[in-house]
Amino acid sequence: MQKIHAAITAVNGYVPEYILTNKELEGMVDTNDEWITSRTGIKERRILKGHFGTSEMAVHAVNGLLKKRGISADEIDLIIFCTTTPDMAFPASANILADKIGAINAWGYDLNAACSGFVFGLTTGSQFIESGKHQKVLVVGGDKMSSIINYKDRSSCIIFGDGCGAVLLEPNTEGYGVIDSILRSDGSGGQYLKQNAGGSLNPASHETIDNDDHYLYQEGQAVFKFAVTNMADVAAEVMERNNLSSEDVDWLVPHQANKRIIDATTNRTGLSSDKVMVNIEKYGNTTNGTIPLCLWEWEGKVKKGDNLILAAFGGGFTWGSVYLKWAY
Ligand code: UT7
């Protein structure tokens, strides 16, 4: 019997309308367009305005995806919602999303691996397809980073933005889909990128609010050092393990955290820059959203049979890479 692979059969994305430019940030913190552009590659990012959580962006992304694929929400078996900014601690945003879109036959859960969440979720979701357990698995990656960003901290507020993407996984027996993945984590790096309060260790209190502990905390240089080597190494490792040279790879889909980290991964894998999906200048770092948003934007250019290498690094530390063969 032919091996079952989990193939991406549809992709869609959603970014909020409001554009927060470098110029506008210049009026909020002591920064400038030249510094942000040269140190990160970011020109603007999207911000979700109004009383909405991350699931609202997912509703837009997933409803569009279902329409594209021509299926209804009640056909979905499982929803894996990769996010670091769920609507609330519980219920899971996967359950909130299922209710909003009418996925009445799906079970679901949230997956939190910070910026590596989407590659962790894609790998996890694939297992349910490969085992024959499920036929239709939705992997959603999205974050409303603006909900945990301190817009007085110039080193972090310039990087992050809001956005969400989603893919549908279905069985394929012709060799297309997720072929291999390498996932890693190192909890000793947790101290460098975290949200200190709001969990069971430091529940919300007047003191945690006064200390700005509900905002994202990042030691940028420490994170950069780990990200720049590990994301590049893991992408190269998955290529080596599958005997792929840079000529064999059609697309590199890197997490969009910093253009300098993307460039290091591009150099390490030996790919030419025209094969690398980069939209960091428009959206900044949308955490779980970056990779599916790239797939969405490049969907029209990617061809059936193309070899894609996805790579991410994030808080935890977590990092990983996925090798997949595009199915349509
Ligand atoms: O998504 C996955 C996890 N996150 C990442 O991968 C992010 C990794 N880190 C980074 O991308 C970079 O470290 C940052 C973009 C966050 C910061 O860039 P950097 O080149 O590492 O800057 P730095 O923190 O070393 O700061 C250099 C200087 C400092 O000034 P002094 O001390 O040299 O006078 C900062 O205060 O730049 C200053 N600075 C700024 N200046 C203007 C920091 N932020 C800004 C700013 N505008 N927005």
Question: What pLDDT, on the 0 to 100 scale, is given for residue 324?
Answer: 98
Q: How far apart are CA 93 and CA 86, in angstroms?
A: 6
Q: How far does the centroid of ligand 1 lie from the alpha carbon of residue 221, in Å?
A: 7
Q: How far does the centroid of ligand 1 lie from the alpha carbon of residue 276, in Å?
A: 24
pLDDT above 90: percentage of residues in the chain: 99
Question: What pLDDT, on the 0 to 100 scale, is given for residue 2?
Answer: 85
Kind plus residue range of the DSSP H or E element containing 28:
none
Q: How far apart are CA 287 and CA 299, in angstroms?
A: 20
Question: What pLDDT, on the 0 to 100 scale, is given for residue 191?
Answer: 98
Q: How far apart are CA 300 and CA 310, in angstroms?
A: 18
Question: What pLDDT, on the 0 to 100 scale, is given for residue 250?
Answer: 98
Question: Cα-Cα-Cα-Cα dihedral of 220, 273, 319, 299, to 10°?
Answer: 120
Ligand 1: atom nearest CA of 154 is 48
pLDDT band at 103 (very low <50, low <70, confident <90, very high): very high
pLDDT band at 231 (very low <50, low <70, confident <90, very high): very high
Looking at every residue in the chain, the average pLDDT score rounds to 98
Asked if 42 and 159 touch (Cβ cutoff 8 Å), the reply is yes
pLDDT above 70: percentage of residues in the chain: 100
Ligand 1: atom nearest CA of 285 is 1
For tokens 């509900």, what's the residue?
A: 214
Q: Find out whether the beta carbon of 115 lies less than 6 Å from any atom of ligand 1.
A: yes
Start-to-end CA distance of the chain, whole Å, equals: 22
Among protein residues, the one with the nearest Cα to ligand 1's atom 11 is 258
Class of 179-325 in CATH: alpha beta
pLDDT band at 150 (very low <50, low <70, confident <90, very high): very high
R_g over Cα of the chain:
19
Ligand 1: atom nearest CA of 258 is 11
Q: How far does the centroid of ligand 1 lie from the alpha carbon of residue 23, in Å?
A: 18
pLDDT at 23 over 80: yes
pLDDT band at 316 (very low <50, low <70, confident <90, very high): very high
Q: How far apart are CA 152 and CA 180, in angstroms?
A: 41
pLDDT tens figures, 241-287: 999 999 999 999 999 999 999 999 999 999 999 999 999 999 999 99
For tokens 């962790």, what's the residue?
A: 120
Question: Cα-Cα-Cα-Cα dihedral of 180, 105, 64, 291, to 10°?
Answer: -30
Q: Look at residues 122, 125, 42 and name the one whose alpha carbon lies nearest to residue 77.
A: 125
For tokens 């940030």, what's the residue?
A: 25
Half-sphere exposure of 122 (CA within 13 A, CB side): 34
Q: Mutation test of ligand 1: which of 36, 39, 287 has the most ligand atoms closer than 8 Å to its C-beta?
A: 39
Q: Find out whether the beta carbon of 220 lies less than 6 Å from any atom of ligand 1.
A: yes
Ligand 1: atom nearest CA of 314 is 2
Q: How far apart are CA 323 and CA 176, in angstroms?
A: 11
Which residues of the chain does CATH 3.40.47.10 include?
A: 5-174, 179-325
How far from 133 is each of 6, 78, 101, 277, CA to CA, in Å? Answer: 12, 10, 22, 32
DSSP state of 4: P
Q: How far apart are CA 2 and CA 246, in angstroms?
A: 28
| pTM for this predicted structure | 0.97
How far from 97 is each of 45, 61, 86, 122, 133, CA to CA, in Å? Answer: 24, 11, 11, 18, 22
Among protein residues, the one with the nearest Cα to ligand 1's atom 30 is 155
pLDDT band at 1 (very low <50, low <70, confident <90, very high): low
Among protein residues, the one with the nearest Cα to ligand 1's atom 2 is 314
Kind plus residue range of the DSSP H or E element containing 253:
strand 251-254
pLDDT tens figures, 47-96: 999 999 999 999 999 999 999 999 999 999 999 999 999 999 999 999 99
Q: How far apart are CA 97 and CA 55, in angstroms?
A: 6
Which residues touch 204 (CB under 8 Å, ≥6 apart)? 197, 198, 214
Tell me the average pLDDT across 194-198: 98
pLDDT tens figures, 24-55: 999 999 999 999 999 999 999 999 999 999 99
- The domain 5-174 belongs to what CATH superfamily? Thiolase/Chalcone synthase (3.40.47.10)
pLDDT band at 232 (very low <50, low <70, confident <90, very high): very high
- Other CB atoms within a 10 A radius of the CB of residue 41 amount to 19
Q: Find out whether the beta carbon of 113 lies less than 6 Å from any atom of ligand 1.
A: no
Q: How far apart are CA 127 and CA 181, in angstroms?
A: 11
